[in-house]
Amino acid sequence: MSWESIGSVGDGQMPEDRDWILFCNDLARLYVKFVCGDPPSGCKLGIMWHEHDLGEYPSLGVYSEFEPPWDYINQCEAALERFDDAVSWSEIHSEPEDEDEDSEDFEDDDHA
């Protein structure tokens, strides 16, 4: 039983951007599953956690009960890389200041 990491996506720093990082990785997981299909029997495509001196951090990985399915893992790595290269994470990462400004504009539009 083992996890094989296929990589991670997005931007941000743990733990401040934990929700954003998890969102990015889950979005990428859905894309990889769409492109590569369901994992082989006895396997799972999901978010795995790594321990580090400064805390833990997530990445996408393939869990397997038996021998790792290397062909599927390699396909997933390639799909994840294509997806990460295609998305400008910093462009879509909302900043708290931006959210406050947007909500004020929305409230003003409601009362006009």
pLDDT tens by residue, 50-96: 887 877 889 999 999 999 999 999 999 999 999 999 999 989 887 66
CB atoms within 10 A of CB 6: 25
Residue 13's domain comprises: 2-110
Share of the chain above pLDDT 90, in %: 61
Q: Is 23 left (phi over 0), alpha (psi -120 to 50) or beta?
A: alpha
N residues, the chain: 112
Q: Which residue has the higher pLDDT, 101 or 62?
A: 62
Residue 7 has pLDDT above 60, yes or no: yes
* Model pLDDT, residue 97: 59
* Total domains, the chain: 1
